[in-house]
Amino acid sequence: MCGIVGYIGHAGGDRDYFALDVVLEGLRRLEYRGYDSAGVAMYADGDISWRKKAGKVAALDAEIAARPLPDSVLGIGHTRWATHGGPTDLNAHPHVVDGGKLAVVHNGIIENFSTLRAEIEAAGIELQSETDSEVAAHLLALAYNEGETAGDFQASALKVLSRLDGAFTVLFVHDDHPGTIV
C-alpha cells in the first residue's frame, strides 16, 4: 500500500489552477514509502486528463513535461506498489473508464476482485489492466449509469464500496461532478 493524494482548490483565489503542483508535491512527500509507478488525473473544463508511468515520480514529471496537462482546480494522484499485475504503464493508476468520464486511484487490495471481475466481463466490458483496482472503476460506472443510483455520484460510490472486501483507500472523480472527489 503506497500513497494517495486528492486536492480541491478554488477558482478565483490565489491558488487558482494549482492542483497539479499540489498533487505532484503530495506524491513526492509519499515517495519514502516505496512504490513502483505514479500517476495523476486532473479535472479541467469538463474533462478529466491523466498521465501515468511505471517508475519514479520523476518519470511522471517527464511524461507531463512532454505531454502537458491543462491547468486544473481539482486532481488526484497515486503512487503504486503493485499487488495485482506487474509494474507497467498500463497497470499504473489512475484507471479511467466509461469513455474517459470516470477516474479511480486505489491503494490496498480488493480481495473479492476475481468474482467482481467475472461479473464485469459477463456484462460485456473488457478490462484494460491486470489490476484489482480497475474493477472498482467499472462497478462505479455501472452504478452511475443505470439502476437505482443512476446519476448520483456519491450514492453510486457508496453502493460500490459496500461490495468491495479488503483493506484499501480509493478516490473517484467524475466528469459530471467538477467540484467533488469521493
Binding site for ligand GLU (CB under 6 A): 1-2, 80-85, 91, 106-109, 131-133
| Closer residue to ligand GLU, CB minimum distance, 21 or 36 | 36
CB of 119 to ligand GLU, least distance (A): 18
Q: What is the dihedral of CA 178, 134, 85, 163, to 10 degrees?
A: 120
Closest CB 79 distance from ligand GLU, rounded Å: 7
Which secondary structure element, helix H or strand E, spans residue 7, and what is its range?
Answer: strand 3-8
Q: Which is nearer to ligand GLU, 15 or 28 (CB)?
A: 28
> Least distance from C-beta 124 to ligand GLU, angstroms?
23
Work out how close the CB of 151 gets to ligand GLU at its nearest, in angstroms, rounded to a whole number. Answer: 28
Residue number with the smallest Cβ distance to ligand GLU: 107
Of 91, 85, 84, 74, nearest to 38 (Cα)?
91
C-beta separation of 19 from 72 below 8 A: yes
Q: Which CB sits closer to ligand GLU, 73 or 164?
A: 164
Q: Closer to ligand GLU by CB, 41 or 44: give it.
A: 41
**Residue 33 C-beta: closest distance to ligand GLU, Å:** 10
The amino acid that residue 19 corresponds to is: A
Task: Let me know how long the chain is.
Answer: 182
For 35, which DSSP code?
A: -
Residues 6+ apart with CB under 8 A from 124: none
Query: Residue 100: CB partners within 8 Å, gap ≥ 6?
Result: 47, 48, 175
Q: Of the two residues 73 and 102, which places its CB atom closer to ligand GLU in the complex?
A: 102
